[in-house]
């Protein structure tokens, strides 16, 4: 069974509840992010994906997460400032979440998608089709600029 995130409710950076279905018709790349991780440099690549594919229908959605090595201890405003000044990242960031243990949205739903299971580390990526169905999952070591991820995004946008 395909997992669909359209009805998942998350909190945006202002604390307001938002349904992921608000992005229906766009391809989503949902990423649990952290500012003090070995993969933090991926912020730049994620912003490049947003800049490159955003006009074609991609939305990169970042969910700060402090579950792995306490690598995202800051407040949301500190995180936003860091992302903007250090990496020029201005893709959409949401309120902090839990991607493991007692998971919070959207990870309580995303981790049911095949291959099911907990998020292993920061910067794990979930690719979501225009209809809200989860179509792929990429581990932290898959770089945003990898040919594998770019091809999957292009295919999802074209679908």
CATH of the domain at 117: 3.40.30.10
Q: Tokens 């594919």 identify what position?
A: 53
76 found inside a domain = yes
Q: Tokens 């998971």 identify what position?
A: 103
Residue 37 catalytic? yes
With a CB cutoff of 8 Å and minimum separation 6, the contacts of 77 are none
Domain that holds residue 42: 9-158
| Average pLDDT of span 58-86 | 94
1 found inside a domain = no
| Average pLDDT of span 140-147 | 96
| Average pLDDT of span 96-103 | 91
Q: How many distinct structural domains can be found in the chain? A: 1
- Per-residue pLDDT at 1 exceeds 80: no
| Average pLDDT of span 72-93 | 92
123 found inside a domain = yes
84 found inside a domain = yes
Kind of pairing, strands 92-93 and 125-128? unpaired
pLDDT in tens, 31-61: 999 999 999 999 999 999 999 999 999 999 9
Catalytic residue (choose from 30, 37, 58, 110) = 37
Q: Which of 94, 17, 20 is nearest to 63 (CA)?
A: 94
4 found inside a domain = no
3 found inside a domain = no
């Amino acid at each position: 069974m395909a997992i669909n995130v359209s009805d998942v409710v998350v909190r945006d950076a202002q604390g307001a509840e938002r349904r992921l279905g608000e992005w229906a018709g766009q391809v989503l790349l949902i990423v649990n992010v952290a500012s003090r991780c070995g993969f933090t440099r991926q912020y730049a690549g994620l912003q490049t994906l947003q800049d490159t594919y955003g006009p074609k229908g991609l939305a990169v959605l970042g969910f700060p997460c402090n579950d792995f090595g306490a690598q995202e201890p800051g407040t949301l405003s500190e995180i936003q400032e860091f992302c903007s000044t250090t990496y020029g990242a201005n893709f959409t960031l949401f309120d902090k979440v839990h991607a493991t243990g007692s998971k919070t949205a959207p990870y309580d739903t995303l981790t049911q998608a095949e291959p099911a299971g907990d998020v292993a580390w920061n910067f794990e990526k979930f690719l979501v089709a225009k209809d809200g169905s989860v179509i792929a999952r990429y581990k932290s070591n898959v770089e945003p600029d990898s040919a594998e991820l770019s091809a999957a995004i292009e295919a999802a946008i074209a679908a």
